[in-house]
Amino acid sequence: MANTAFSVEGRKALVTGGASGIGATTAGILRDLGADVVLSDVNADGLDSRSAELGNCPTFLCDVSDEPQVEGMVKAAAAALGGLDIVVNSAGLVDEVKYALERDMEPWQRVMDVNFKGTLQVCRAAARIMVPQKRGAIVNVASVNGPGGWPRRTAYGPSKAAVIAVTKELACEWGEHGVRVNAVGPGYIATPMVQGLIDVGKVDTERLSNRTPLGRLGTPEEVGQSIAFLASDWASYISGETLFVDGGWMAYGGAGDVKTF
Ligand SMILES: NC(=O)c1ccc[n+]([C@@H]2O[C@H](COP(=O)([O-])OP(=O)(O)OC[C@H]3O[C@@H](n4cnc5c(N)ncnc54)[C@H](O)[C@@H]3O)[C@@H](O)[C@H]2O)c1
């Protein structure tokens, strides 16, 4: 008999990147669906204000690129929650937007360390709890820039391609222990990250909308709902998957404007 009640009622959920954008919104959605939620981020002020909005949920300052910090944070989060059922890896950085031949490798390494290594490190720390308990759902946040090539994003795109790849690896390793690992691949979503790029002229909203079959940018809520689905029992037979939440971006292979090509 089908499970007709979509819910994460009573689940214990940790959201990284929870101070802003997709992470902050996802935490609210999980909470509204009945989960107990804690937030982690490097942004202390952002954590405080989002926690206040969510009824003073516990927060943990942590740079996901630093493994000892991650190990301590995940243990502390699980202790505060009284368990760990769901982890959402939304912490992430944008790229410098420089050509490969002109960029420095230090900022390149930083993007890889936060977006890829950070995601893997949080997955590992979570699995140390989830594998022995034989239960858990992890949702990583990748991007359409993982499978797609963008000029001047030689760190961001590869970091997200690696997130998609490692999501599959970990799903294969931990599936027998009842731990599912999936990802979402957002297109362009109206978050502070993208607003920052719009403000400095590195993103043109109109061109992006014209390139997107649904004709607009996405909202953090639309990504958060897909994350909640993948974290819930409704996705109980889905693992290793990346669900693109992109308004059809990945489906379009034309010459630049959906309406004319
Ligand atoms: N907004 C989009 O269009 C879009 C598209 C595809 C993928 N994504 C991905 O979605 C995720 C969330 O992005 P967003 O748009 O909500 O951006 P955002 O900037 O609003 O949120 C990202 C959060 O990650 C935190 N963070 C950054 N470095 C960190 C670190 N080292 N350790 C812990 N936390 C750190 C930031 O402080 C911030 O709160 C990112 O992984 C991003 O790459 C976003």
Residue 201, domain member (yes or no): no
Residue 4, domain member (yes or no): no
Residue-level pLDDT at 4 = 72
Query: Is the pLDDT reported for residue 259 higher than 90?
Result: no
Residue-level pLDDT at 92 = 98
Residue-level pLDDT at 171 = 99
Residue-level pLDDT at 175 = 98
Q: Provide the percentage of residues in the chain whose pLDDT is more than 90.
A: 91
49: pLDDT confidence band, cut at 50, 70 and 90?
Answer: very high
Residue-level pLDDT at 193 = 86
Note the pLDDT tens digit of each residue in 195-227. 888 889 888 999 999 999 999 999 999 999 999
Q: What is the mean pLDDT of residues 54-71?
A: 98
Closest CA to 30 of 92, 87, 73: 87
* Paired residues of 10 in beta bridges: none
Residue 1, domain member (yes or no): no
Atom from ligand 1 closest to the CA of residue 144: 6
Pocket perturbation via mutation, ligand 1, pick of 191, 208, 226 by most ligand atoms within 8 A of CB: 191
Report for 178-182, 194-198, 202-206, 253-257: range of highest mean pLDDT? 178-182
Whole-angstrom distance, CA of residue 75 vs CA of residue 38: 12
| Distance set, CA 48 to CA 84, 88, 118 (Å) | 22, 19, 22
Whole-angstrom distance, CA of residue 104 vs CA of residue 27: 35
5: pLDDT confidence band, cut at 50, 70 and 90?
Answer: confident
Residue-level pLDDT at 255 = 87
Residue 200, domain member (yes or no): no
The single residue of 156, 188, 237, 252 carrying the catalytic annotation is 156
Conformational region of residue 209, where left means phi above 0, alpha means psi within -120 to 50, and beta covers everything else: alpha
Output b/e per residue, 37-60; b: 16+ Cβ within 10 A: bbbbbbeeebbeebbeebeebbbb
Residue-level pLDDT at 219 = 97
Q: Residues near ligand 1 with C-beta < 6 Å?
A: 16-17, 19-23, 41-43, 46, 63-65, 90-93, 114, 118, 141, 143, 186, 188-189, 191-194
Closest CA to 91 of 162, 46, 40, 138: 40
CA 62–ligand 1 middle distance (angstroms): 14
Query: Is the pLDDT reported for residue 119 higher than 80?
Result: yes
Residue-level pLDDT at 224 = 98
Residue-level pLDDT at 20 = 97
Residue-level pLDDT at 245 = 98
Residue 211, domain member (yes or no): no
Residue 7, domain member (yes or no): no
**C-beta neighbour count of 88 within 10 angstroms:** 29
CB within 8 A of 105, min separation 6: which ones?
none
Q: What is the mean pLDDT of residues 228-240?
A: 97
Q: Is 237 a catalytic residue?
A: no
Whole-angstrom distance, CA of residue 230 vs CA of residue 241: 9
Q: What is the mean pLDDT of residues 28-47?
A: 98
Q: How many domains, the chain?
A: 1
Q: What is the mean pLDDT of the chain?
A: 96
Residue 221, domain member (yes or no): yes
CA 47–ligand 1 middle distance (angstroms): 13
Pocket perturbation via mutation, ligand 1, pick of 96, 193, 212, 243 by most ligand atoms within 8 A of CB: 193
3-state SS record for 41-99: ECCHHHHHHHHHHCCCCCEEECCCCCHHHHHHHHHHHHHHHCCCCEEEECCCCCCCCCC
User: Domain range holding 27?
Assistant: 12-191+217-250
Residue 198, domain member (yes or no): no
CATH assignment at residue 169: 3.40.50.720
Note the pLDDT tens digit of each residue in 81-117. 999 999 999 999 999 999 999 999 999 999 999 999 9
52: pLDDT confidence band, cut at 50, 70 and 90?
Answer: very high
